[in-house]
Amino acid sequence: MIPLLHGVSLFLEPESVTRSFNTKTRTTLVALSPLYRIRRKRRPRHQVLSLLTALAAVSVTGCDATRPDRAIRIGTANTSHTLCSGTFVSGLDPDQLFAESVKPSPGMGLVTWALHYQVDRGRRQVTTRVAGRFESRAVYRDGLGCLIVHGGELEVASPLATITADAQATSPDLPEIAGPAVVESTDLALSAALDRAFSEPERPPYRRTKAVVVVHEGRVIAERYAPGYGLATAIAGNSATKSVVSALVGILVREGRIAVHQPAPVAAWRNPGDSRHAITIDQLLRMTAGFSTDERGFPPPATRMWFLEPDVAEFAAHRSIEAVPGSTWNYSNANYELLSRILRDSVGGPAEVLQFAQRELFAPLGMHSMTFEFDATGTPMGSKFMFASARDWARFGLLYLGDGVVGGHRILPEGWVHYSSSQTLTTGYGAGFWTNLSNAEIPALGIAWGMPGAPRDTYFARGYLGQYVVVVPSKQLVIARFGLSHSRGGDVESVGRLVADTIAALGKASR
């Protein structure tokens, strides 16, 4: 995650973010306070505190679009949340996670010198401050992951946490994909492909591959994990979570509860005179609802939505649109937070949505490591906050490789896989998945759509820092790759090489 200056994006690379940061955000910070110069000159602590106080005071009276104090609070909240989830959901070392995930993020250099986090394992919470102020606290809840505490949010824990065990006890429909031990490949070419995927360049940005699982024809044929990671490690999917939300929407469509081309049932849009009234579920899934990109600005709307707002979907619902719905593609997390609220309301409420997801999707696939995090209202944080083991993420990919059917049981409606992986306008995005159908450049980002080196029929879930669930139907192949890669495009080029190397290895083995 990018904790201070922009959102968690599944495709934004550090270069493009830093460019935006240098031209606007740093200018704003330096204009309002000498914080950046303080860091360089190592001024006394009392001067730092007084300047931070002045910065906050100026921010309160200044333009809402340029609130440095809000940006700092987003930074502390994101740090607390990242370390809380990493420690108590994933079982990772918080100091290593901070060093590899949070600290390298663009903009963090402005505050890291004054940032302090405290991991309280007894209370299962993380508290973060900058120069002793701007405190944010994230608390772990059994079965529900972590939550930034704004007030009375912990009251939603009881009705949600009590229903997980029953759903997880259900026998999966998906046949077992591997035994209890890590699958070590005996194929030299496939082992070399994994060696390359875990190799590091001589200088930053580092690849930091953490897990790779290769599934061919329904069985794991090779997997590898970095130190500190293993079969049971629940890994943050970041924006790969959007693909899971798309699947859950598909299940509602199969059950006849919603239709993709109906207007989205968003309470704030009920007035026929509202420009957003006619936005459809399809347009939310395809990110053509008309919202502007929400991962730019100071601070960007996405980070405020995730880390400062107790009701994430309500914040998303009140965003204005800048284009006629259906006419333009813009990457906006608001789309999937609204879909998450629609999911919740369609099945009956907070407790019911988790039960629905377990019963209809996770349990049939045998995804028992899954943790879905919720906001303070009991709405799933569907744009980025799901965790699962690398094998379980691969199981999710197998659902799509099997056209939405596992063990003879249809989970997704007929045609949903094609719909999800079909091209939106002229982009490389589908309806919750990325495709390999366009080689054009993503506007203003300086990177191309798709996955270089992978076959044209490839489509994939994709998350910030290099989280991928890659499906290659023509090769009966699923590859789950997870990392902490601050490199261009989430290290998509090396993931494409991994896909190509794997296919080449399979070709050699079949001769």
User: What would the pLDDT profile of 89-114 be if each residue is shown by its tens digit?
Assistant: 999 999 999 999 999 987 788 888 99
pLDDT of residue 213: 98
Q: Which residues, other chains included, contact 364 with Cβ-Cβ below 8 Å and sequence gap of 6+?
A: 170, 172, 173, 174, 406, 407, 409, 411
Cis peptide before 299 (omega within 30 of 0): yes
Residue 451, token pair as written in the block: 């996955």
pLDDT of residue 58: 40
What are the φ and ψ backbone dihedral angles of 128, each rounded to 5 degrees?
Answer: -130, 140
pLDDT of residue 105: 83
Note whether 475 and 500 are within 8 A (CB): no
| Distance between CA atoms of residues 349 and 224, nearest Å | 39
pLDDT of residue 158: 52
pTM for this prediction? 0.89
Identify any residues that bridge with 434 across adjacent strands, giving them in sequence order: 429, 460
The residue among 402, 54, 469, 44 whose CA lies nearest residue 238 is 469
Phi/psi region, residue 468 (left: phi>0; alpha: psi -120 to 50; beta: rest), is beta
Phi/psi region, residue 144 (left: phi>0; alpha: psi -120 to 50; beta: rest), is alpha
Residue with tokens 């939603």: 156
What are the φ and ψ backbone dihedral angles of 117, each rounded to 5 degrees?
Answer: -120, 150
Note whether 163 and 475 are within 8 A (CB): no
Listed as ranges, residues in the chain with pLDDT below 70 are: 1-67, 151-170, 444-446
pLDDT of residue 443: 73
| Distance between CA atoms of residues 401 and 398, nearest Å | 5
